[in-house]
A and B are shown apart, each in its own frame.
Chain A
Amino acid sequence: MRFQNKADYWLWLVAVALAGWVIPGGGHFLIRQPKRGMIIFITITLTFGLGLYLGSIGIIDSVGGWAWYIAQMMATPAVWILDHLARHGAYQSYGRPCDLGQIYTAVAGLLNLLAVFSAVYMAYAGRGEFIGREE
């Protein structure tokens, strides 16, 4: 993709990162890698959804579980809305379901962070390029 100036180029990279954060796999769709985008979207949505199903939305807690919350926020900014819902409702989650739910949702968030880095690097280095070497 060609850009008029450097500011446009940086804006493009930011747009790719934001798209990947708002909708998992969105960054890859923007850089015309729809197959990757679709796989990332389905996998991260299912992982995050399974975590919420196991532990309920009570596992999203920006006050008591702020470290988990940071990782969960990497999946999508919609977590912020879920946190508000969870805090204003009486959704409690303890024990094993809470542990599993937090692990699933946090890992989904961190995997999305990896996907965002991948999309931004592909946008930066050109189509077909990726971080590190192929395995």
Chain B
Amino acid sequence: MSALLYGIMASFTQPENIATSPAFMLWMFPLLAAIAVIYKTTKLRALLTKVFLRETLVLFGVLSGFMILAIVVLNLLVWLITR
């Protein structure tokens, strides 16, 4: 048990190995999900499970869509400038 605990704690003392690749961008999704959940938790008058899940999913979709659009536009700009 204590070996497991030390193992878990030790994983917080060394950074993870994250490569510079387009897949790096996928790390934005958990953060966007957290933002959507907290925002909707503080905004909805009644916290009904079904409504909460639907509203959170919609906000997550909107945020993700906007971020993907921003990535596409910025990449397009870089491509136009550097070609």
Contact = CB atoms under 8 A, between A and B. Distances in A.
B interface, size bucket: 20 to 34
Nearest to A51: B31
Contacts, number: 86
Interface of A: 33, 35-36, 39-40, 43-44, 46-47, 50, 52-58, 89, 91, 93-98, 100-101, 103-104, 107-108, 111, 114-115, 117-118, 128, 130-132, 134-135
Contact of A47 (B18, B30, B41, B55): B30
Contacts of A91: 13
B68 to A, nearest CB: 18
B47 A118 contact: no
Interface of B: 11-20, 24, 27, 30-31, 34-35, 37-39, 41-47, 55
B38 A40 contact: yes
B31 A97 contact: no
- From B15, B30, B37, residue with most partner A Cβ within 10 Å: B15
